[in-house]
Amino acid sequence: MHELSIAMSIIDMAVDEAERRRVTIDAVHLELGPLSGVVAEALRFSYEIACKGTSLEGSRLVIREVQIEVYCPTCNAQKTLRSMQWFCCPDCGAPTSDIIHGRELVISALEVGDERRTAPVGST
């Protein structure tokens, strides 16, 4: 379980950004690939715990799970992998280890309020 230390890094980075830009953060948007080695569910859980007592307490972690994209040398094109257990082109079946996407562990955006936290509107 290294999700707790990952969650703490996310929070540190977001807190830094928030201070630099003088905003409050309502949500952190994260892109997460299945090959990052981080489990979304464990991360959500850890995030909530790790936020306690920081300026991000009460904020949300919005995770967008990225699919694995590989390059197929036979089709000469980028393809979406069907299964992590089968690294081959979904169309022609050629095996490939050429990974284009799927390792992401990236803060993509911050949902911000201005001077103080505003009540979250809507639900995503």
Residue 89 binds Zn ion (CB under 5 A): yes
What are the respective helix, strand and coil percentages of the chain, to the nearest 5?
A: 25, 30, 40
Segment interacting with Zn ion, rule: CB under 5 A, options 6-14, 32-40, 88-96, 100-108: 88-96
Q: E strand or H helix at 9, and its extent?
A: helix 3-21
Q: E strand or H helix at 109, and its extent?
A: strand 105-113
Segment interacting with Zn ion, rule: CB under 5 A, options 15-23, 33-41, 50-58, 82-90: 82-90
CB-based closest residue to Zn ion: 89
Positions in the binding site for other proteins (CB under 8 A):
1-2, 5-6, 9-10, 13, 17, 21, 23, 26-27, 29-30, 34-38, 84-88, 95-97, 99, 105-114, 118-122
